[in-house]
Amino acid sequence: DAKTTQPTSMDCAEGRAANLPCNHSTISGNEYVYWYRQIHSQGPQYIIHGLKNNETNEMASLIITEDRKSSTLILPHATLRDTAVYYCIVRVSGSARQLTFGSGTQLTVLP
Amino acid sequence: GAVVSQHPSRVICKSGTSVKIECRSLDFQATTMFWYRQFPKQSLMLMATSNEGSKATYEQGVEKDKFLINHASLTLSTLTVTSAHPEDSSFYICSALLAGSNEQFFGPGTRLTVL
């Protein structure tokens, strides 16, 4: 699985959009970008994933650059409950292998 | 749907005792389950891959005789930490792979404290 690079931490004001970047310059053509988050002392939670088109669901939007070397997870209206570590993971879809977690980004939503 | 539970959620034990942690997929079948360990302020690290009806595959550096894994059914995998020591204190998390797909669902984790 391709390596990803994320900022260590970010702050965001409550109610504002949180934009979390991820670099994955060595991504292969058949690898997807997945985002998970982990609230303190809980198991990881799936957020969204995509291949090359932008994706949106009830939790977030995923914007992938045209060259697919980077992506941004957008939480449109961050709340205090969105404070968590956000992990960007690149992997082949359909793989039954484990998820490899990097260090992620600690997002702190401020009141 | 796709709920994974872990039991217990928190356990404190004395050094030298064994502790069993259960991971259950409540509403789906999982031929594969993964066990992760997370130390404070660190990321999740894979310990082993558990396949129903066969022996688990352990990651390098993880002692298979110390961390016993049993995956006897399509909805249950257990991790037993044998002869636990304080350095085994950690947050243990399982995930279950939905049979026939690549979607993984995580349990809530088990906080183990060895005194």
Amino acid A58 reads E
> pLDDT per residue over B88-114, tens digit each?
999 999 999 887 777 789 999 999 999
Please compute the mean of the pLDDT values over residues A86-104 and round it to a whole number: 84
The whole-angstrom distance between A41's CA and the closest CA on chain B is: 7
Q: Count contacts between A and B (CB, < 8 Å).
A: 46
Chain A residues 23-42 with a CB less than 8 Å from chain B = 38, 41-42
The sign one gets for the Cα dihedral A90, A29, B105, B94 is negative
CB B80 within 8 A of CB B63: no
Assess B21–A contact: CB distance below 8 Å, yes or no: no
pLDDT of residue B35: 96
> pLDDT per residue over A65-77, tens digit each?
999 999 999 999 9
Contact (CB<8Å) B43/A102: yes
The whole-angstrom distance between A82's CA and the closest CA on chain B is: 17
- Cβ contacts of B9 within 8 Å, gap of 6 or more: B108, B109, B110, B111
Residues of B with Cβ-Cβ distance to A44 under 8 angstroms: 44, 93, 95, 106
